[in-house]
Structures are given as C-alpha cells and as structure tokens.
C-alpha cells in the first residue's frame, strides 16, 4: 500500500517549520556563545576588581564587595573568575553552553534538578573514563548481541591485554630454581 501523496500546503508548512527550526537553532547557538563570552569578560573584570579590593580593603572585604555590588551569587562570581583563569581565548568556548564549558573545564555547578547532588570532589581521570566506557558499552545500535560482543572483543582487545595484567595473578615462572633476590644486603 502506497502512502497518500502529500498535499502542497502540508509540504509548504513542513518546509516552513524546518526552516524556522534551523533559524532558531542558529540563533540559539549564537545566544549561547554570547552568554559564554559575557561570562568570560565578567570573569576578567571580577579578577581585576578583586585585586583592587584585596589591595585597598584587604581579602576579607571581597565577599562584602560582591554582596553590595554584584547582582549574582558569590558562587557565580567564583565560576566566572575560574572561567576567565582557565580560558585565554573566548573562541575556545564556541559551540558550548555555559554549563558545558564549566563541565569541560572542571568548574563545579549546581545540578539542574533539585535533589541530585554532584560529587564535591573531582574523580580521577581513569575513573571518569571507565564510567564513560561502561555507559558506552550499554548502547547497542543496530547489531545483534553476538555481533556487538564480537565487535567489542575485537576493538577492546588491546585495552583488555593491558588491564588484565593488573587483575590476574602472574603465571608461575618456568624453571623456578629458588627464591628471587631483588638486591644484595
């Protein structure tokens, strides 16, 4: 059974909505970049102002200055400052949201959903990568389970060979003739 041909007004509306979606996506990316650049510039200005406040009034005055002059929270000011310290060129931030930039730079943020607490410490890189690998391996796009397992075996063989040395006991040495001495005492 062939699908009914689309009527021209429907086709025109589909294409109009498609063009609107593309325009909005471009506008959204541009707005995200402007927000990042504004936060980055604010961070640089906050760095300079903090130096001035420390010099003129002492370090204890910084939070008081923020409370009296900055319309955001002290945590937001701290994130802007870290952003300014971490990024030398705002072009690095192209295509990222503020939250994505913070995540990439390791700048802590509050979770989007209340009740979900982020870890207060940074996990070691190998733990982050291991967790990412485990999440990736759960995805099974368009292959049977056996095909997917075989592909994983083939692709991850080198990693397995390196890691198994840490998890499996060493095989007994052939022709063992006595205790091994590491050095003479």
Total tally of structural domains belonging to the chain: 2
Same domain for 52 and 127, yes or no, is no
* Residue 116 lies inside a defined structural domain of this protein: no
What pLDDT is attached to residue 114? 58
Segment among 25-39, 108-122, 147-161 with least mean pLDDT: 108-122
What pLDDT is attached to residue 185? 44
* Residue 4 lies inside a defined structural domain of this protein: no
CB 102 within 8 A of CB 122: no
Rounded to two decimals, the pTM is: 0.53
Same domain for 72 and 126, yes or no, is no
Same domain for 161 and 73, yes or no, is no
Same domain for 75 and 151, yes or no, is no
Same domain for 106 and 38, yes or no, is yes
Same domain for 32 and 103, yes or no, is yes
* Residue 179 lies inside a defined structural domain of this protein: no
- What number of other Cβ atoms are within 10 A of residue 41's Cβ? 14
For CA atoms 96, 97, 100, 106, give the dihedral sign.
positive
Domain containing residue 145:
122-169
CB 80 within 8 A of CB 42: yes
Residue at which a domain ends, from 111, 135, 156: 111
* Res. 127: pLDDT tops 70: no
Same domain for 71 and 21, yes or no, is yes
pLDDT of 149-167, one tens digit each? 887 888 888 888 888 888 7
Q: Which residue has the higher pLDDT, 182 or 32?
A: 32
Segment among 59-68, 89-98, 166-175 with least mean pLDDT: 166-175
């Amino acid at each position: 059974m062939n699908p009914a041909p689309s009527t021209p007004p429907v086709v025109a509306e589909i294409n109009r909505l498609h063009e609107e979606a593309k325009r909005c996506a471009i506008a959204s990316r541009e707005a995200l970049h402007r927000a990042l650049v504004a936060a980055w510039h604010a961070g640089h200005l906050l760095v300079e102002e903090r130096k001035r406040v420390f010099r003129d009034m002492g370090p204890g005055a910084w939070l008081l200055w923020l409370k009296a002059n900055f319309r955001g929270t002290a945590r937001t000011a701290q994130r802007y400052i870290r952003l300014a310290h971490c990024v030398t060129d705002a072009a690095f931030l192209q295509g990222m949201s503020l939250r994505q930039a913070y995540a990439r730079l390791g700048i802590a943020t509050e979770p989007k959903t209340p009740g979900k607490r982020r870890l207060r410490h940074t996990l070691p890189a190998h733990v982050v990568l291991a967790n990412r690998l485990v999440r990736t391996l759960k995805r099974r796009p368009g292959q049977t389970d056996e095909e997917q397992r075989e592909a994983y075996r083939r692709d991850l063989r080198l990693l397995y060979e390196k890691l198994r040395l840490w998890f499996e006991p060493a095989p007994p040495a052939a022709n063992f003739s006595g205790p091994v001495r590491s050095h003479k005492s």
